[in-house]
Amino acid sequence: MRTQVAIVGGGPAGLLLSHLLHRRGIASVVLEGRDRAYVERRQRAGMLEQGTTDVLRESGAGERLDREGLVHHGLELRFGGAGHRIPLTDLTGRTVTVYAQTEIVKDLVALRLADGGDVRFEAEVLEIDASAPSVTYRQDGRTHTLECDYVAGCDGFHGVSRPTVPGLRTFSREYPFAWLGILADVPPSTHELIYANHERGFALHSLRSPKVSRLYLQVPPDEDLGAWPDTRIWDELAARLATGDGWELRQGPVTDRSITPMRSFVAEPMRHDRLFLAGDAAHIVPPTGAKGLNLAVADVTVLARALTERYASGSETLLDGYSATCLRRAWRAEHFSYWMTTLLHVDPAADPFALRLQRSHLDYVASSEAAATTLAENYVGLPFD
């Protein structure tokens, strides 16, 4: 078997890359270790930057996004019992959109299959050869080898692509807290996201749809999910999100819950010979800045453009610059995500001096247009170009 680009991983990065290449006449095969049902129901965040929505729309993958996505023009920082709105659009001219990663994956799977795309589920990748490019995988009890011109490693933090790259430099940071996240069948109590700093820890009120809420609590990284019955979750959310103006948190049935560790991670370079890393295979950000999915989209947009140039003209200039181009954006997102995380979370080891510095910083962001603009332009996303 042979194709032009073998794509390891059938999440949003791999599927979008395959879709973008198809629209440019470049053949690809997507190899995904999980079954289709698992991939389409895997819960992930879904705050899309302006650039991400632009890419999806321009590629023809934005029909349901435009119909069901919730466009936001601001967000709220909440601390000291009061809310402080950051007017994202007024400060930047750009917006963000709430549309779950789960739905993006469903849209892209449907598009690829409708176009006759080759997406192979339950295909366990065993080995990647980056020099004489090929991918060996097991499917239906049989081992196959897929030869190709290039390999795109879009298989996430725990995938097989990154360990294939020799001599990687890695940079990482573990945070002394995690997020307990829930989905609840209740209309959101807010029209824009609320990022709350409270002496008992961070809380986030997000939303999934007009009828479904997504909420998070800061918890210790080794927290037992079983120690959090619904009543305790709602009580803690209400306490951390409380204001002095009578705002009330709506409560409803919890349909999903999980604990997510917080880490920052970058691997350099993002290319080895004919293998290119993209998305979580190359970098992880704490979710506070809402950058993970958007970085993955930026990576594969750059890679699709570079491969298009290669097949159209024979030039590898853009391919040669792929790693440096993507890492510039990744490190900016890493810094912003770290900044948002340390601005809003309570470090259990922080002394009173550090806590007062944090509060001073929050006051500054809420009162200074310059500081608010820095937050806003990073949150809505820097231009892809």
Q: Which residues are catalytic?
A: 72, 195, 287, 291, 379
Amino acid at 245: D
| CB-based burial, 186-204: b 16+ in 10 Å, e otherwise | bebbbebbbbbbbeebbbb
Q: Tokens standing for 371?
A: 């500081």
Q: What is the number of other CB atoms lying within 10 angstroms of the CB of residue 238?
A: 15
- Cα dihedral 364, 367, 368, 374 sign: positive
Residue with tokens 């573990």: 174
Maximal C-alpha separation, the chain = 65
Q: Tokens standing for 256?
A: 């999903």
How far apart are alpha carbons 242 and 306 in whole angstroms? 49
